[in-house]
């Protein structure tokens, strides 16, 4: 019989590999869930606001059950390792701000990363990079909450629960788009792309 994966292993499986960024999100979610006294959301009981689109967000989705599809994962493009978690049932919310020095500085790790990203690393350098990734991730996971972050109880204006909108067929491309994302162009209903509006990941 196969043993059940640990929460960390589930996050690694979902993300695809071990990395320090994933460890940041994992640690932040564990701390927040403990602070709120809750576990993974089955529906929209929890809300998470993430202030970056980095690796850690994958761990947060796995541990909290907050996802873009359910409408309870809100993305703000601030480029900060800061996460706010709220419990709709109690109205409680906590803001977890990862301390800037948690990742530390490792010039060799950075050099290896650059080589791997450029596709110029040897097999030996790739193995060394993976080892360093695992080593740095483990160090993050072993930090105490006090060493890792600042945790604050905050007042959160909870977003409305996700709604299902009617689909409008774009008069130009013929594709369906949700009603709030349709615009009027030359008297016809068209999608944002055909309307010429810029798309941004900062939804």
Where do the CATH 3.30.60.20 domains begin and end in the chain? 164-197
- Predicted structure pTM score: 0.83
| pLDDT of 125 | 84
* CATH number assigned to the domain covering 7-153: 3.30.1330.130
Q: Give 20-75 pLDDT, tens digit per residue.
A: 999 999 999 999 999 999 999 888 899 999 999 999 999 999 999 999 989 899 99
CA 117 and chain centroid, separation: 21
63-116 pLDDT per residue, tens: 999 999 898 999 999 999 999 999 999 999 999 999 998 877 778 878 888 888
Segments of the chain assigned to CATH 3.30.1330.130: 7-153
What integer pLDDT is reported at residue 200 of this predicted model? 52
Any idea which architecture 164-197 has in CATH?
A: 2-Layer Sandwich (3.30)
């Amino acid at each position: 019989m196969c043993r059940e994966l640990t929460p960390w292993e589930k996050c690694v499986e979902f993300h695809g590999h071990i990395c320090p960024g994933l460890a940041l999100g994992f640690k932040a979610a564990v701390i927040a869930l403990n602070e709120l006294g809750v576990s993974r959301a089955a529906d929209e009981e929890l809300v998470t606001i993430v202030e970056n689109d980095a690796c850690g967000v994958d761990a947060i989705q796995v541990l909290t059950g907050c996802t873009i599809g359910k409408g309870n994962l809100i993305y703000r493009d601030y480029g900060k390792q800061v996460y706010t978690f709220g419990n709709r049932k109690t109205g409680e919310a906590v803001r977890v701000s990862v301390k800037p020095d948690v990742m530390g500085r490792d010039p060799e790790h950075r050099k290896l990363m650059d080589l791997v990203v450029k596709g110029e690393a040897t097999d030996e350098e790739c193995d060394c990079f993976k080892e360093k990734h695992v080593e740095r991730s483990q160090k993050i996971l072993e930090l105490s909450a006090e060493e890792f972050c600042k945790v604050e109880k905050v007042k959160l204006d909870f977003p409305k629960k996700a709604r299902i909108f009617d689909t409008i067929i774009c008069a130009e491309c013929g594709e369906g788009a949700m009603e709030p994302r349709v615009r009027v162009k030359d008297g016809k209903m068209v999608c944002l792309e055909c309307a010429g509006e810029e798309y941004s990941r900062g939804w």
